[in-house]
Structure 1
Amino acid sequence: MKNRLLAALPTEDLGLIAPHLTQHELEKGRHLCDPGDPVEAVYFPHDCVISLMTLMENGAAIESAPVGREGALGLMAAVAPRQSLVRAIVQAPGQASRISASALHDAWIRSPALRDLVDRHNEALFGHAIQSVACNALHGVEARFCRWLLSCRDRIDGDTINLTQEFLADMLGVQRTTVTAVAGSLQTKGLIRYRRGVVDILDRAGLEAITCECYAAVRRGYERLLPLPFG
């Protein structure tokens, strides 16, 4: 089981939710929820990545945090009924396990281990989101581009990331022409290979040297709170 939260649960506690889990193939670009939607299901990604997008009234959007195999989408609904605060879009396609919020809540009541894991995950995700606020305000596009690539790479198997200029521009809150310029610069430096709809990471260490402190800060937060989040 690739999802780190599910893999971390003791066998008895996993047994409370396993009968209610269903496997789903999530295609790229799929909308899973919008702000204000009731959270009726929780997704545990195995090899897909889901972007949590903050929306403005004029339609502008920017990514607050990604969710991959280290976590889950909608996990706060394990505690009590909740409405979504974000738009969730599948960023990288792949598989996820799905469970109804009500079934997960029933397990949460009975399992101290699950309650602890939910608390830790929500703290890590909150830390990621508030770090993103500072990063988007204080750091340049190139550093944030590198942070985004590294964060995505942590959550998938492989160095190839499928994306479009438009999608990446939305993630970073910039124009597509800016994405083109930054990607071209990183390609010239030999750090990535950028072709239509695809980015290949060629030099991870080089990206880590350029990215801002936020990448390491967020990663440390997950590693402190969650079991082997990116192992």
Structure 2
Amino acid sequence: MNKVISALEPKPEMSEPHPRVANRLLGALGSRDYAILEPHLELVALPRGKVLFEPGDDVHTTYFPCRKTMVSLLIVTRDGREVEAATIGREGAVGGIVSDGHKPAFGRAVVQVPGSAFAISTSHLEAAKLGSTRFGDLFSRYADALLAQMMQGVACNALHSVEERCARWLLATHDRAGDHIIQLTQESLAEMLGVQRTTVSAVTSSLATRGLLKTLRGRVQILDRKGLERVACECYEAVEGHFARVLPEVDI
């Protein structure tokens, strides 16, 4: 049976569905492969700002975000600045995806949108990969999709405007959150984009003036999805299109 984290942590939603519904990557597993993981999955609460691992940490746990939960993989500079390398939600997993044995983290993993996740030790995940060719193939393809997101992010940060990048990030988050209202502060968005908060404030104000979104306290409401898609750079469609081709059985 799925276990529940200690009462010292904020409780996950009591209506949390079966893990194969809550997380799309788990849902793509065949019944036989999923049965190998099920006894080891633990339902945990992930509050906003929780650090799952730091650069250099040995990664012992893999997290499968559920529903609206989203985690950012960040690159941290010597002076403490952060820039997002990838966003992971209910379509994927965080930590120990392809590594075997020693798994030092290169970046920092931080919860941006709070919620619940299913956690499993990387040792149990590795055992499942070794025991099933199909299981290993699914996670290898997911690793490919995650790498593509990171590579496209490098190009995006170098070539596109803050407004285009902001629109791309909001679209990707909207996909994963499954709701028009995204639990996100402007400060967090600025950190993800690697810019000043005042810059993000100016960009979101411009988007709001055009009727594309509405900024609320600690939240962003998407009003015109199609309009936001027109503002976003080509990177959004490139990443989502590659994901659909590599992992057609996983619906973001």
TM-score computed with the length of structure 1 as normaliser: 0.97
Checking the alignment, whether the CA contact within 8 Å between 1:33 and 1:87 is kept in structure 2 is yes
Separation of aligned partners in 1, 2:100 and 2:210: 47
Task: Look up the match of 2:31.
Answer: 11
Deviation at 1:229, TM superposition (A): 3.5
What does 1:188-203 align with in structure 2 at a 5 Å threshold?
188-203=209-224
Separation of aligned partners in 1, 2:242 and 2:54: 26
Q: In structure 2, which of residues 177, 187, 193 is the aligned counterpart of residue 166 of structure 1? A: 187
Instruction: Report Cα offsets for 1:77-111 as digits up to 9, x if no partner.
Output: 56433111111011111111000011111111101
Q: In structure 2, which of residues 57, 62, 87 is the aligned counterpart of residue 42 of structure 1? A: 62
Note the aligned Cα RMSD (angstroms).
Answer: 1.2
Structure 2 residue 7 is the aligned partner of structure 1 residue 26: no
Instruction: Report Cα offsets for 1:46-88 as digits up to 9, x if no partner.
Output: 1211000011111111101101111100143564331111110
Q: Which residues of structure 1 form unaligned runs of 5+?
A: none
Task: Look up the match of 1:91.
Answer: 112
Separation of aligned partners in 1, 2:159 and 2:187: 23
Instruction: Report Cα offsets for 1:167-219 as digits up to 9, x if no partner.
Output: 11100000010011001000000000012211000000000000000000000
Separation of aligned partners in 1, 2:249 and 2:131: 24
* Structure in which a larger fraction of residues adopt helix: 1
Amino acid at match of 2:25: L
Aligned length: 231
Separation of aligned partners in 2, 1:192 and 1:173: 21
Checking the alignment, whether the CA contact within 8 Å between 1:78 and 1:102 is kept in structure 2 is no
Task: Look up the match of 2:125.
Answer: 104
- Structure 1 counterpart SS, 2:59: coil
Structure 2 residue 227 is the aligned partner of structure 1 residue 206: yes
Identical positions, percent: 47
What does 1:107-122 align with in structure 2 at a 5 Å threshold?
107-122=128-143
TM-score computed with the length of structure 2 as normaliser: 0.89
Q: Which residues of structure 2 form unaligned runs of 5+?
A: 1-20
Checking the alignment, whether the CA contact within 8 Å between 2:48 and 2:111 is kept in structure 1 is yes
Separation of aligned partners in 2, 1:114 and 1:157: 26
Q: Which runs of 4+ in 1 moved over 2 A?
A: 75-81, 227-231
Checking the alignment, whether the CA contact within 8 Å between 1:64 and 1:129 is kept in structure 2 is yes
Deviation at 1:135, TM superposition (A): 0.2
Structure 2 residue 239 is the aligned partner of structure 1 residue 218: yes
Structure 2 residue 226 is the aligned partner of structure 1 residue 229: no
Checking the alignment, whether the CA contact within 8 Å between 2:91 and 2:176 is kept in structure 1 is yes
- Structure 1 counterpart SS, 2:177: coil
Structure-2 change in CA distance of 1:77 and 1:224 (3 Å): closer
Separation of aligned partners in 1, 2:51 and 2:243: 25
Checking the alignment, whether the CA contact within 8 Å between 2:211 and 2:223 is kept in structure 1 is yes
Amino acid at match of 2:193: L
Q: In structure 1, which of residues 146, 150, 159 is the aligned counterpart of residue 167 of structure 2? A: 146
